[in-house]
Structure formats: C-alpha cells, structure tokens
A and B are shown apart, each in its own frame.
Chain A
Amino acid sequence: MSAQVLTYVFVGLTFALYIAIAIWSRSASTQEFYVAGGHVHPVANGAATAADWMSAASYLSMAGIIAFEGADGARYLMGWTGGYVLLALCLAPYLRKFAKFTVPDFVGDRYYSQTARVVAILGVVFISFTYIAGQMRGVGIVFSRFLEVDIDLGVLIGMGIVFFYAVLGGMKGITYTQVAQYCVLIFAYLVPAIYISLMLTDVPLPMLGFGSTVNDGSGTFLLDKVDGLSQELGLSIFTEGSKSTIDMFFITAALMAGTAGLPHVIVRFFTVPKVRDARISAGYALIFIALLYTTAPAVAAFARLNIVDALDNRAYQDLPAWFSKWEDSGLLAWVDKNDDGLLQYRGGAALDPVKPRYSDTRGDLGERILKNQPTDNQNEVYIDRDIIVLAHPEIAQLPNWVVALVAAGGLAAALSTAAGLLLVISSAISHDLLRNTLARHLTDKQELRWARVSAAVAIIIAGLFGIYPPGFVAEVVAFAFGLAAASFFPIILLGIFSTRMNREAAIAGMLSGLIFTASYIIFFKFIAPEFNTAEYWWLGVSPEGIGTLGMILNFLVSFIVMQMTPPPPQEVQDMVRNIRIPR
C-alpha cells in the first residue's frame, strides 16, 4: 500500500479508538468532569500528563529547532523537563492534598480573596487560549500535508473529535484518550528514530546511537562527523551554541518555572487518589516525557547528516520525489545562484526575506521560481525546521508504514494538548467564575451543564483561532512560559512554603511580575523590534528569558509587602499546615 493510503488507515484507526474510549468513559458528575473522579492510576496519569504536556511544538518542531541550532536547543530540552522536578517536589503533592478542582480554586482560597481568584481565572484563560490556538493550527497543518485536505477542513475535523470526547467525557474521557494518544505519539516518534539510528550507527537506541561511531567503517564518532561536515559547508557547529551563557541560564529558568506554573499540567495532579500517587505520578510522567526528549537531539543530529547527504551537490532532476512534494507545500525552496543545476547546501540564509515567497511560474528544471532576492552567500536551499520530523522518514527512505505513522503521531500530540487546555478553560468558567464567583447558587447538575457548554464554546473559539490565526499568537505562545513563571509559580510556591504569605503580598507580587515581564516583551517584540538585539537587552537577557527576572521581582515584592501587612487569618494558616501533611 502507498504511504498515502496507510496514513488514512492509521489516522482513521486512531480516531476510532479515541471515540470508542470517549463513549466508554462518559462523565456523570462535576467531580468526574473536572478531575476524573480522583481515581486515576498514577501510571495512567503519568502517561496522560506526558501527552497533555507534549504538544504539536514538542512533537513536530523541537527536533527541527535542535537540528538547526545545535547546542542552544538544550534550553528547551532541560527547561521543559527540569520543570517537572519543581512540580513533583514543590507543588504537586500539596496541591493534591488541597483536594479541589482548579488552580484559581487554590489561589482564591489560599489568598482568601475574590480579586486574586478573578486575576487567576484571567491568567488561566489567557495562557490556555494562546496555547490552544497553536494546537488547532497544528492539527490543520498535519491534515493538509499528509491527507491533502484543506487546512480549514482539517481544523474542523480536529474540533469535531475533541468536541466529542471533551464535552462528553470531561476529564475522565480526556484522561483515558490521552493515555491512548501518548502510546500513539511515542510509538510514531521512536520507530523512525530507531530505524535511522540503526541505519547510521548499528545501535538501536537513538539516545545511545548519537554518541556512537558511524557504521561506514571509518570509526568516526557520529557527532564528530556532523561537526566536520558542518564546518566544511559553513553551517553552525552542532555541539557548540551561539547564545550567551546568561541568556541560556535565564531562558532555561523561565521555561522550568513556567512549566511548573502551567495550569493544564498542575490540574492533572488533582486526578490521582492520594498524595503519594501525585508524587510517583510526576516521576512516571517525566519518564514518559524523557523518552521523547532524549530522542529528539539524536533525531536532530541524524537529520543533519541525512539532509546534507540527500541534497548537497545533487542535480535537481535526480532528487527523490519528496523534495518536490515538500517544495509544493512551501517547506523547501531552491534558488540556483550559480546556474549549475546542482543544489548547494551551505551556511547562512539562502533567501531574503528568509521565508520563501513563491511565484506561479516554474523554472526549466521544474523548480518553483521565487520572488525573494537571493543572498550573496553560496547557500541555495531553504529548509523549514518543521520538515525534520515530518519528512525525515522519507528522506531516510524508510518503509511506507513508518512514513504513515508520523501523521497519526502529530495529530495525537496536538489533540491531546488541545483537550487538556480546553478542560482547564471550561472549568475556569463554569467552576471558578460561575459557581465560586458570579452564581453561587448553582447545583452540581447545573454546574456540569455549564461546564459542557463552556467547553463547547471554547472549542469553537479555539477552532476559529486555528482557521484565522491572529498574527500575534505565534509570538505570544513562546512567552506564555515567561508569564506563567512571573505570575503563578511564585505565589503558588509561597502559598505552600510560607504560612506568613498573605493576600496583599500575593496580589502585589503577581501584578509586579506580570506587568514587568509583559512590558519588556511588548516593548522588544511589538513597539521597538529594531532594538531586539543583545546590546539593548537589560543585563543581556532576551525577552524569551525575562520571565525569570519577573519571577525574582515577584518574590522580592512579595517578601517586602508580606512584612508590612497583617498575617493571613488563622484558618488559612491552618489550611497551609494541613496541606503539608499527607494524612
């Protein structure tokens, strides 16, 4: 069977599986809708957390970013895993003991303040919506590239599937579909990686293979070969970074604290039966995540070799079929600067502006003619980062069934994250905003109905974001972590570890952290992008890493305000002491 037909088969089978799980695990109460009844086994919760966490960006883009940036990619690898240590040790067990449904629940109760609750609701909804827009777009892109469906139709199909199991099943349905989605996505990620590792190094495990020797008989280490080749072609050296140490430090810290402060991850730890389960469940989650995160840099290194091998100094007519396919979908481009009919892949951007703008005509060899100006370096090839995961199986000439897996895996990654975010938005509206703020008289049954309605509305809004992506979304998603680090992380942490931490300090700390971080980002990204270079950054910290300074500011302001204002009421102090003890 062709890869196209197999892709349809795999995507169809996985979707049928998700729907079957949704029907089997319907939610009947708010307890089930928000936290799956609190009965989820720690291993299942670990797998669900991993799928919840690993989004379209982790699955489709991360290996590509590392392939092009080399050592600098470590900020994502460490930042997005190290946050789980903070979460497991400092937050998850205590929030589980608190035994409510949402993050605004904790903020509102711990800081005995409706203002703090409403600020938390706004933060949760803002972070979750910026994040979800990217997921729905990811669903559309996978559909359009692999199944040749229109992007908008792809988004609609994705909305339909998520609607089915999120509205019907709530957290219970989402949890068990996420477990299935984790299995699909990790299988689809590891199989091609193992194949390629065997082809290049004879070592089956990719995370060991990329530290081994290549199997061409030369006895050279794979990374030495990658570095040598990169140097020869003027590409950046894979094992060396170009970011300053201080910037790497701050970005990694912001990603870690942001991960620990993201509401859709925190809420997963409300679903296990005991405090002890919350601890071990974070451990399982990190094992499941680490499987993909330790494979990604290996895939990146393999991809550099395979791409240079497949493209450099090849004649355009002799290129394999995948080149023109991905050229058609806009992820590859070639401009023959020296008119030799061969592709030269070298360092530097081939085109100005960097992304290709195609005209309607084709050149003599069949290549798409570009409107971009060629740059004066020798590089003739534009390669989009996303292609590393999407096209690598084809580039390495793997069997059709492996090529077909990639689409099913990408869809699993995007849909599972979207569903987790939707649930957080719906519970913020029905539980925090209605039940606990505006309409306290709601019965459990009414609240459940509102939860389903707000999930449905949230899906429609998210779908619209996917079909008509607002330009700012891609920019903002990258900063959601900085904002979470500067706002939620410090006040949740202090709320557990300090009995003296009070309402005034929390509100002042959260506002100062948020305002500082948001203004720095808005200034460099939107008001004065021409100044967005290291020489103008404060202390050399880029907008990506500024959340760490915002977090430090939040802590400082909290400490100072705390000293000047009265301690929290006795019952709140007792509550804090209570959540510290498992029993």
Chain B
Amino acid sequence: MSDQSEQEIVSPSDQPKQLSDDQAAYWRANVTTLLSLLSVWFLVSFGCGILWVDALNQYQFFGWKLGFWFSQQGAIYVFVILIFIYVVRMNALDRRFNVDEDQ
C-alpha cells in the first residue's frame, strides 16, 4: 500500500498536460465545496452559538431558548450533517473527474 503511494509521489510530473488541467479543475471544485460547507459551519457555531446567542435567546424553541439550543445541541447536529454532505459531494466529484479509487 505505502510502496505504491511512494512511487506515485516520485513520478507524478510525467502525467500529460490534459490530465493536470483536469486536476486543477477538480481541486477548484473541491475548494468551492469546502468553502461553502465551512461557511455553514461558521454560521451555526460562531454565529448562532456565540455572536448572536443573546438575540436568538429571545425566541423559544420547544423547551429551549433558541441560541442556547444552537450552542449546546444544534451546532453539533449540523456538524455531523455537514461531514456527510461533504462525503456525498466529494464522492460525486471523484467520479465526475475520474479520480475515484475504484478503478
């Protein structure tokens, strides 16, 4: 396993130019996905859980104050969902750019 990867590290520059353009496009798509997911990550935790917590606490959400719920429950649920969205999006990207590991 590791031997094979070391080989790849030694000689990736032999790849034709077309392939590296594809790789650049794949990387851009990857970074876009990351940034959009991380902005949600920031909004629920630092936003709803900390910066706007007092404002949100004026609203009731079942038995919780809304801001309190975000900081002690909601943010954690969103974190889990974000990782799974990331997994699905990245697996799709891998297939679209033909870089997935199944072949």
Contact = CB atoms under 8 A, between A and B. Distances in A.
Interface in B67-102: 68-69, 71-73, 75-77, 79-80, 82-84, 86-87, 90-91, 94, 99-101
A74 B87 contact: no
A245 B41 contact: no
Contacts of A248: 50
B63 A274 contact: no
A207 B72 CA distance: 10
B12 A583 contact: no
A567 interface: no
Interface string A52-90: 000000000000001000010110011001101100111
Contacts of A98: 5
Interface string B36-78: 0110010001100111010001000111110011011101110
A99 B71 contact: no
B62 A73 contact: no
A211 B65 CA distance: 9
Given A290-B80, A575-B9, A582-B94, A222 B100 contact: no
A224 interface: yes
A287 B80 contact: yes
Given A223-B64, A239-B57, A248-B50, A85 B82 contact: yes
B21 interface: no
Task: Say whether chain B's binding surface is mostly helix, strand, loop, or mixed.
Answer: helix
Interface stretch (A275-283, A384-392, A536-544): A275-283
A164 interface: no
A204 to B, nearest CB: 16
Q: Is the interface of A mostly helix, strand, loop or mixed?
A: helix
Contact of A294 (B20, B73, B86, B91): B73
Interface string A273-302: 111100110110011001001100100000
A574 interface: yes
A111 B2 CA distance: 20
A497 to B, nearest CB: 8
A213 interface: yes
A253 interface: yes
A38 interface: yes
Contact of B83 (A88, A297, A578): A88
For B2, B38, B41, B72, the residue with the greatest tally of chain A CB atoms inside 10 Å of its CB is: B72
Interface string A563-583: 000000011001101101111
Contacts of B10: 571
Contacts of A578: 8-9, 12
Given A99-B2, A282-B83, A574 B45 contact: no
11 contacts: A74-B71, A78-B76, A85-B83, A93-B90, A211-B61, A211-B64, A239-B57, A248-B50, A252-B46, A286-B83, A577-B12
Interface of B: 1-2, 5-6, 8-10, 12-13, 20, 23, 26-27, 30-31, 34, 37-38, 41, 45-46, 49-51, 53, 57, 61-65, 68-69, 71-73, 75-77, 79-80, 82-84, 86-87, 90-91, 94, 99-101, 103
Given A77-B72, A276-B91, 9 more contacts: A81-B79, A85-B37, A85-B82, A211-B64, A221-B63, A245-B53, A276-B94, A282-B83, A574-B9
